[in-house]
Structure 1
Amino acid sequence: MTDQAQLHKQLLETLTANGSLRAEPWKRAAEAVPRHEFLRGGFFHRVEGAGPTAWTPVLEGDADWLEACYQDESLITQIAGTIVPADIRGRIMRSPTSSSTLPSLVLRMLEDLRVEPESQVLEIGTGTGYSTALLCAGLGEDNVTSIEYDADVAARARTALARQGMFPTVVTGDGLLGHPDGEPYDRIVATCGVRTVPVPWIEQTKPGGLVLVTVGGWLGSSELARLTVHDDGTASGPLLGGQTNFMLARPHAAPPLGLLPDLNGGEEREAVIGIDALHDWTARFVVQLAAPTAQRLTMDRDGHTEDVLIDVDSGSWAAVYEDGGRWLVRQEGPMALWDAIEEHLGHWRAAGTPALAEFKVTVTPDGQTIRW
């Protein structure tokens, strides 16, 4: 057995043992698709111990390239919207914009998609093409359409798929608009996160069909939602639990904050809830529901550390800090931002702090609601 075959076998054994790979059709698909074929352009490894997050390239032929391809981890394949591993010598300190998702999550999502034989599937976000190949292996390429925002990423995916003898429909375009030329679909699965589920996805899915997508926000908490499309053009369904995290679709990513407001003003009071509440994944998700257009930054001011939330839409802000064992908040703007957060978190706590798996997402032509 070659080194590659052994590594592939070990990965599948790991995924089976930890429960990520259960259904026989997806086991066969995972066996048929070699992940390294979709990473021949290399990837970036995070530089441990660096101050600002830094990345260094790993290219095909490097000592740890093949082994890393068969680890159950996400691998960054593009940075800053255009930069690929072959472009860099040394380090780069910019934000990742494309990746190969860890195989356990890809396969878990395919199982959560509950496909049936001959299901027509639209994949939002082709990426490297690895998940697209798994869909082809499981359903047949004629049943798979994948849309990728970045033309260069799409071209590399088509090449990798062709090397495996797979020729699904791969188109370049805005995945948030879906792909109406191929509708209606039985299933839509997104490999990027969104703040709100796009209505075109619901419109392009057959009644009774499913949309599987990670819903999140600018505070970094997100979760996988499985929505059933109804006859009236709406969709609803639960969050599935498990702290799923994807990069947000580029149009849904947080905008630059620009010039900060004057943080010396505002009214100060003792806070009922401190910023430590945001350390909990579910609580942070609840905060995002109360302040969906808020971003967070941390700064040192006057001898203490302040966590500042700035609402992009209204310009309201809240600065929260600890002093002498108590939490204080200073806030200003059209809305009392921390008041709204405390109120929403208070309702959630009064309800017994329900887990995300108890939340329900509803999407209508008028918008999206998430409630527990």
Structure 2
Amino acid sequence: MTMDSAALRQALAGHLAAGGALRTQPWRQAIEAVPRHEFLHGGFFERSAPDAWRPVLADTDGWLERCYADESLVTQIAGTIVPGDIRGEILREPTSSSTLPSLVVRMLEDLRVEDGDRVLEIGTGTGYSTGLLCHRLGDDRVTSVEVDPEVSRRAGAGLGACGYFPELVVGDGLAGHKDGAPYDRLVATCGVLELPHPWVEQTKPGGTILATLCGWMHASELARLTVGDNGVAHGRLLGGQVSFMLARPQSPPPPGMLPDLTAGEERAARLGADVLDDWATRFVAQLAAPRVQRLSLTLADTTQHVLVDVEAGAWAVLSLDGEQWTVRQGGPAQLWDQIEEHLLRWRADGSPPLDRFEIIVTPEGQRITWPKV
């Protein structure tokens, strides 16, 4: 039997509560009230192969039920392509999605909003999380910034269909929206390499910023910070692996033509590339090299693990010879030296878990540290 959307919303709320993401009654009421499918009338993409996507349109059997599954639903490919544009499959990278509801509600709970708070959301996306904020606080208390005009337009249509009319801004979310500042809370639904100081400037002293900190090796963590009276924000990572698309201005450049990997200097590596298979280790490595991309090449039955900073022109390639890892590095910086040093220092301090890492954001930039254990 097909369930109607109200029953599906109630079932979703029950699932999210049972899983621990949904913890308080006001957000449960929002989940039960805001119809996610209104933000997905244009359909979504499902993965049909490791690098391929096919459209699922609103007239497809099971579309409504999929809208209320706890899964992320890709809504745009390659910056412009939506499900209605495609017949068959497309082999390009996703650029916008409706985040899985358990992560959306976890972030809203972790934001710790109170009645009367004014919230700035960075990354409108489909508008579903914006709608939840509108239901909880009132749409006159919500401002949402989206870099893509068409994505913002579609979100506005979905919000209007639900009776919500928040302030929607088209622009670079990394700059925030100073015309509406200061805000009590700021939440980012995209990943950032470094938390922008304008977000700190636009949040009231005592206010909260919730954002996902990422790197180009694809390990990311949710961070919550409190803004002080002096324009400095302090906080911690919250733990638990999260994943968001990076803010578009911070997306990695195409690797392009790789440098001559036989050049540079070679040495025995103290750590092998396999350490980066661990999420926490990879996140710590990114702190030393946030703009490094990780690639694998197979040449003559040998796998080479390549790290490259395209903008800096620095690179490292690691390979395993028997039981010994070797590294060859070139360019203006010794990438693997930087990463090894950072990881070995973390290990010497007892490999503290990520939820014990502390963050400070000042006008000069961001610093992340860990305690000894």
Give the TM-score normalised by structure 1. 0.97
Map of 1:105-116 to 2, 5 A cutoff? Answer: 105-116=103-114
Equivalents in 2 of 1:33, 1:3: separation in Å? 14
Match of 2:275? 277
Match of 1:9? 10
Match of 1:59? 57
Map of 1:355-370 to 2, 5 A cutoff? Answer: 355-370=353-368
Residue 171 of structure 1: how far off its partner (Å)? 1.4
What is the letter of the counterpart of residue 325 of structure 2? W
Residue 295 of structure 1: how far off its partner (Å)? 1.2
Match of 2:140? 142
Of all paired residues, the percent bearing the same amino acid is: 62
Equivalents in 2 of 1:230, 1:6: separation in Å? 44
Residue 233 of structure 1: how far off its partner (Å)? 0.6
Indicate if the aligned counterparts of 2:9 and 2:33 stay in contact, CA closer than 8 A: no
Match of 2:208? 210
What is the letter of the counterpart of residue 358 of structure 2? K
Q: Which moved more, 1:317-326 or 1:192-201?
A: 317-326
Equivalents in 2 of 1:285, 1:37: separation in Å? 36
Match of 2:184? 186
* Counterpart selection for 1:93 from 81, 91, 94: 91
Equivalents in 1 of 2:272, 2:66: separation in Å? 40
Local SS of the residue matching 2:239: coil
Local SS of the residue matching 1:209: strand
Local SS of the residue matching 1:239: strand
Match of 2:301? 303
Equivalents in 1 of 2:5, 2:107: separation in Å? 25
Residue 234 of structure 1: how far off its partner (Å)? 0.9
Match of 1:68? 66
Residue 238 of structure 1: how far off its partner (Å)? 0.2
Equivalents in 2 of 1:174, 1:39: separation in Å? 24
Map of 1:150-165 to 2, 5 A cutoff? Answer: 150-165=148-163
Residues 1:41 and 2:42 aligned together:
yes
Equivalents in 2 of 1:253, 1:39: separation in Å? 25
Residue 102 of structure 1: how far off its partner (Å)? 0.5
Local SS of the residue matching 2:294: strand
- After TM superposition, which residue ranges in structure 1, 4 or more long, deviate above 4 angstroms? none
What is the letter of the counterpart of residue 285 of structure 1? F
* Counterpart selection for 1:121 from 119, 136, 139: 119
Residue 236 of structure 1: how far off its partner (Å)? 1.2
Residue 301 of structure 1: how far off its partner (Å)? 2.1
Residue 310 of structure 1: how far off its partner (Å)? 1.0
Residue 304 of structure 1: how far off its partner (Å)? 0.3
* Counterpart selection for 2:319 from 295, 314, 321: 321
Q: Which runs of 5+ in 1 are unaligned?
A: none
What is the letter of the counterpart of residue 161 of structure 1? L
Equivalents in 2 of 1:64, 1:15: separation in Å? 20
Q: Which runs of 5+ in 2 are unaligned?
A: none
Equivalents in 2 of 1:23, 1:29: separation in Å? 10
Match of 2:25? 24
Residue 123 of structure 1: how far off its partner (Å)? 0.5
Indicate if the aligned counterparts of 2:146 and 2:172 stay in contact, CA closer than 8 A: yes
Equivalents in 2 of 1:164, 1:5: separation in Å? 13
Residue 2 of structure 1: how far off its partner (Å)? 4.2
Equivalents in 2 of 1:295, 1:27: separation in Å? 39
Match of 1:351? 349
Equivalents in 2 of 1:236, 1:313: separation in Å? 30
Equivalents in 2 of 1:173, 1:291: separation in Å? 28
What is the letter of the counterpart of residue 103 of structure 1? P
What is the letter of the counterpart of residue 16 of structure 2? L
Q: CA RMSD in A?
A: 1.2
Match of 2:165? 167
What is the letter of the counterpart of residue 245 of structure 1? S
Q: Which moved more, 1:17-26 or 1:260-269?
A: 260-269
What is the letter of the counterpart of residue 23 of structure 1? T
Give the TM-score normalised by structure 2. 0.97
- Number of equivalences: 369
What is the letter of the counterpart of residue 155 of structure 2? A
Match of 1:233? 231
Local SS of the residue matching 1:218: coil
What is the letter of the counterpart of residue 134 of structure 2? C
Indicate if the aligned counterparts of 2:9 and 2:31 stay in contact, CA closer than 8 A: no
Equivalents in 2 of 1:10, 1:194: separation in Å? 33
Equivalents in 2 of 1:160, 1:278: separation in Å? 40
Local SS of the residue matching 2:9: helix
Equivalents in 2 of 1:291, 1:15: separation in Å? 36
Equivalents in 2 of 1:152, 1:288: separation in Å? 32
* Counterpart selection for 1:261 from 259, 265, 275: 259
Indicate if the aligned counterparts of 2:97 and 2:125 stay in contact, CA closer than 8 A: yes
Q: Which moved more, 1:310-319 or 1:91-100?
A: 310-319
Equivalents in 2 of 1:176, 1:198: separation in Å? 6
Local SS of the residue matching 1:212: strand
